[in-house]
Amino acid sequence: MAKALRQKTRGEKPGPDGTVHQPRSKREGDGSKQAFVVRCRPGTFEWRYGRHDNAQYQAGTKFARLWERAGIASCGGALHEASGGTDWKGLPDGRVVALDQVRQIGQEIGGPMTRRLVAYLVEGRTPKEIAATYKGQVTDRQVSDTLDLDLIELARAMGFAA
């Protein structure tokens, strides 16, 4: 099945935003492998680390899920808007727990590292796009190496690596 997916996506042209389909396989709890295709832009976290099921990938995906669950990117959140904004009494427990976890991780790894990881993991930026924010002071290769180390530290902070 995975071989058929690879052959199917091999000659495919990228989408208008540069995304490509990349075949993946995931090992299930019973030992079997499940093949699937992921749509991602070359250079993004999913494209670079998604092929490997290592501590960096696990920590990065969990951090991105925590960030989204915490609702840090939105000022009100979908729950507040769905209720009309009038009878909303406080934050849901799951969101509070996620906020606490993100805050704890941010304190442990530091502000600059957290900002780079949010740009890479949550916003889906590439190392080249992140390097452009430094206005020529660093190259995309340097940012790529730095992000690799940031992910190792994130994996340690989240308990995925020793």
77 and 139 co-located in one domain: yes
pLDDT of 71 > 90? The answer is: no
Check residue 1 and give its pLDDT.
Answer: 43
pLDDT of 136 > 70? The answer is: yes
Mean pLDDT of 39-68: 81
- Spatial separation of the C-alpha atoms in residues 147 and 116, rounded to whole Å: 7
126 and 53 co-located in one domain: yes
Q: Answer yes or no: are the C-beta atoms of 63 and 57 closer than 8 Å.
A: no
Report residue 57's pLDDT band, with 50, 70 and 90 as the boundaries. confident
The residue ranking higher by pLDDT, 138 or 20, is: 138
What mean pLDDT, rounded, does the chain reach? 79
Question: Strand, coil or helix: what is 43?
Answer: coil
Structural domain for 111, as ranges:
42-157
- The sign of the torsion formed by the CA atoms of 75, 81, 82, 83 equals positive
121 and 148 co-located in one domain: yes
The residue ranking higher by pLDDT, 92 or 2, is: 92
Residue 8 lies in a domain: yes
36 and 59 co-located in one domain: no
Mean pLDDT of 56-78: 80
Q: What pTM does this model have?
A: 0.70
Report residue 6's pLDDT band, with 50, 70 and 90 as the boundaries. very low
Check residue 101 and give its pLDDT.
Answer: 92
Tokens of 157: 């902070």
Report residue 51's pLDDT band, with 50, 70 and 90 as the boundaries. low
The length of the chain in residues reads 162
23 and 72 co-located in one domain: no
Mean pLDDT of 8-24: 64
The rounded radius of gyration (Å) of the Cα atoms in the chain is: 18
Check residue 72 and give its pLDDT.
Answer: 75
The residue ranking higher by pLDDT, 87 or 72, is: 72
Check residue 41 and give its pLDDT.
Answer: 73
35 and 46 co-located in one domain: no
Residue 162 lies in a domain: no
Domain count, the chain: 2
29 and 67 co-located in one domain: no
Residue 145 lies in a domain: yes
